[in-house]
Structure 1
């Protein structure tokens, strides 16, 4: 059984000096490929560098490059050119993480929208998929996306946590949906239990969003309190339970979906438990 983790914050300081061991645990758990998330221009550069540093094979680690809405206040006249150069890197497979966050508003909303629109325009020009972030902003995100959707090859709403209305609107716009350990959180994620049944095969992908969103259903809970890609298996179990699918079936179609979305190479199952280097 193979899994692809489409969202790993491998640049996070809590993973420093542990990254190789983290990857080995992931491969041993069946997570055969990962997308390292870029959330700022600096971190997107670091994400691409980590792919080369930690994966000599060129088959296991890939990344995204973009500016998160929290960092949109840093977007300026040079950002598009710098991001375009990053997107030319072979390991970089999507534009993002970009989007809107009207929950925390760490960047002013007009700046969030400007940064998003310029990244969507770049994705359309380069014909690259988009890795989207949205919190409390689904209506505005949909309004902006509608102007670009016909020109974009694909887009995924990463770490979907919204309600039924938002999910159906995203699916109507032919978007993909990423599900994280949020679904394992009995305090705030139980509304996702019936909703994951509504995501069609071919639109659903799984992600850890590590080191965040440690699945609360894990027993025993890791002493570190930190999530990591090896624990994506717990997300698989929870999603399969609420979709009424076997683990193998869900792993098979969600992995195939991610591989197609990010244009990833196939990886032989034999040896999938071995580190990349």
Structure 2
């Protein structure tokens, strides 16, 4: 597949995962070869943000990061972390609050702890005028209640790795949320319903991400089948272009501009 002539931005890659981190030089090289201009390194714990900032020094023009606790890690959140995260929000490397939200599918942290932690992140975003990179799995109702309470105070919100229903999508769009689409859309079983739903996402609310090392795109000539990586963003763009029957250059330009503005890059 020929590379896109326009640059791409991966809004969510877990580059601190061991599989990616230990191969970071190769990850960077392949990403550049496939026109991935920028990568937002997803942080799932305050320790991730510290590690990500060190990694950013390696490629300051390519990498930036988020600050926050994934709902799986909500049990680890303590109030003294708030001030530390608040200070990190002033760093030029930090572009968003997250990955945070609610995940009742696995409940690695108790729902009560997840809700408390999520609320703290909503406060953090509203106090720092930073956008939010959000996670929601099987917790839509509680997630929506909290989001509605804060949405008027928050700069911007993207619901990352959207896999939900048309009604859930409409609920998010009604609040002005952006929507992140991953390689899930290429999965012929789990992701086929998104082929119809994605048509309802306004062109100015769509962004793309690999969620590396997870969600490897299906049915594409990917040489490394062991894990996903940002260089595969071109295949997600290709899949969306075909589903929407939209010129790839036009689509790439729209998504790039959405992302650039959202993260204030």
- The TM-score range, normalised by the shorter chain, is over 0.9
* RMSD (Å), alpha carbons: 1.0
Give matches, 1:79-94, under 5 Å: 79-94=81-96
In the alignment, which residue of structure 2 is the partner of 1:75?
Answer: 77
Report Cα offsets for 1:117-154 as digits up to 9, x if no partner.
Answer: 00110100111000000001112111100110000010
Aligned-partner SS, 2:184: helix
The answer as to whether partners of 1:205 and 1:254 remain within 8 angstroms in 2 is yes
CA drift of 1:187 comes to 1.6
1:47 is aligned, of 49, 52, 76, to 52
The answer to whether the aligner puts 1:165 opposite 2:170 as a matched pair is no
Q: SS where residue 196 of structure 2 aligns?
A: helix
2:11 to 6, 12, 18: 6
Match of 1:274 in 2: none
Q: How many residues align?
A: 260
> 2:20, 2:229 within 8 Å by CA — same for their partners in 1?
no
TM-score, normalized by length of structure 1? Answer: 0.92
Q: List, as ranges, runs of 4+ consecutive aligned residues in structure 1 with deviation greater than 6 Å.
A: none
Aligned pair partner of 1:147 in 135, 141, 149? 149
Q: Relative contact order, CA 8 A, sep 6+: which one is greater?
A: 1
Cα distance in 2 for residues equivalent to 1:121 and 1:46: 24
Residue in structure 1 matched with residue 200 of structure 2 by the alignment:
198
Q: For 1:27, which of 23, 32, 41 is the aligned residue?
A: 32
**Unaligned 5+ runs, structure 2:** 1-5
Once residues 229 and 245 of structure 2 are traced to their aligned partners in structure 1, the CA distance between those partners, rounded to angstroms, is 25
Residue equivalent to 1:185:
187
Partner of 2:250: 249
The CA distance in 1 between the partners of 2:200 and 2:143, in whole Å, is 21
Q: Deviations over 1:36-80 (max 9, x none)?
A: 00001111211122111x21xx32211111100000001112121
Partner of 2:226: 225
Which residue number in structure 2 is paired with residue 267 of structure 1?
none
**Distance in 2 (alpha carbons) for counterparts of 1:223 and 1:238:** 19
Name the CA distance, whole Å, in 1 between partners of 2:162 and 2:89. 24
Counterpart for residue 268 of structure 1: none
**Normalised TM-score (structure 2):** 0.96
My pick for the range that moved more, 100-109 or 8-17, is 8-17
Contact 1:45 1:86 in 2 (8 A): no
1:209 to 208, 211, 227: 211
Partner Cα distance (1:201, 1:237) in 2: 15
Flag the 1:171–1:244 CA change in 2: closer, same or farther, 3 A: same
Q: For the Cα contact (< 8 Å) 2:184–2:190, is it kept in 1?
A: yes
Map of 1:269 onto structure 2 = none
- Offset at 1:222? 3.2
Gap runs ≥5 in structure 1? 265-277
C-alpha distance in 1 between matches for 2:219 and 2:159: 23
